[in-house]
Amino acid sequence: MASVLAPDQLGPTVCVGEILVEIVATTIGDGFTEAQPLVGPYPSGAPAIFISQCGRLGGSSAMVGAVGNDDFGRLNTDRLKSDGVEISTISVDSEFPTGSAFVRYRKDGSRDFVYNIATSAAARFGWSDNVKALMDRAGHLHVMGSALSVPSAREVIDRAVDIVKARGGTISVDPNIRKELKLDPATEQRFAKLVEAADLLLPSGEELERAAGVEGEDNAIGRLFELGVKEIVLKRGADGATFFGANGERVDAPAFVVEEVDPTGAGDCFGGAYLTCRRLGMSPAEALTYASAAGARNVTIRGPMEGAGTRQELDAFISSTERRS
Ligand code: ATP
Ligand code: MG
Nearest CA to ligand 1 atom 14: 267
Task: Check pocket membership of 294 for ligand 1, CB cut-off 6 A.
Answer: no
Q: In whole angstroms, how far apart are CA 69 and each of 42, 62, 120?
A: 17, 20, 11
Task: Check pocket membership of 111 for ligand 1, CB cut-off 6 A.
Answer: no
Tens of pLDDT, residue by residue, the chain (325 residues): 458 999 999 999 999 999 999 999 999 999 999 999 999 999 999 999 999 999 999 999 999 999 999 999 999 999 999 999 999 999 999 999 999 999 999 999 889 999 999 999 999 999 999 999 999 999 999 999 988 888 899 999 999 999 999 999 999 999 987 655 567 888 888 899 999 999 999 999 989 998 998 999 999 999 999 999 999 999 999 999 999 999 999 999 999 999 999 999 999 999 999 999 999 999 999 999 999 999 999 999 999 999 999 999 999 999 999 999 8
* C-alpha span between 107 and 30 (Å, rounded): 8
168 Cα: distance to centroid of ligand 1 (angstroms) = 30
Nearest CA to ligand 1 atom 26: 238
Contact 63, 90 (CB under 8 A): yes
Ion ligand 2 neighbours (CB, 5 A) are 176, 204, 267
Say what the pLDDT of residue 141 is: 98
Say what the pLDDT of residue 300 is: 97
262 Cα: distance to centroid of ligand 2 (angstroms) = 14
DSSP label of 27: S
Number of the ligand closest to the Cα of 238: 1
As its CATH architecture, domain 8-320 has: 3-Layer(aba) Sandwich (3.40)
Q: Is the dihedral of CA 82, 84, 88, 89 positive or negative?
A: negative
DSSP label of 323: B
244 Cα: distance to centroid of ligand 2 (angstroms) = 18
Task: Check pocket membership of 279 for ligand 1, CB cut-off 6 A.
Answer: no
Nearest CA to ligand 1 atom 23: 237
Q: What's the whole-model pTM score?
A: 0.96
Say what the pLDDT of residue 226 is: 97
Say what the pLDDT of residue 177 is: 75
Say what the pLDDT of residue 43 is: 98
Say what the pLDDT of residue 272 is: 98
Nearest CA to ligand 1 atom 30: 296
Number of the ligand closest to the Cα of 242: 1
Task: Check pocket membership of 44 for ligand 1, CB cut-off 6 A.
Answer: no
Say what the pLDDT of residue 50 is: 98
Say what the pLDDT of residue 156 is: 97
* C-alpha span between 287 and 103 (Å, rounded): 30
Say what the pLDDT of residue 146 is: 86
Say what the pLDDT of residue 186 is: 85
Say what the pLDDT of residue 180 is: 55
* C-alpha span between 205 and 236 (Å, rounded): 6
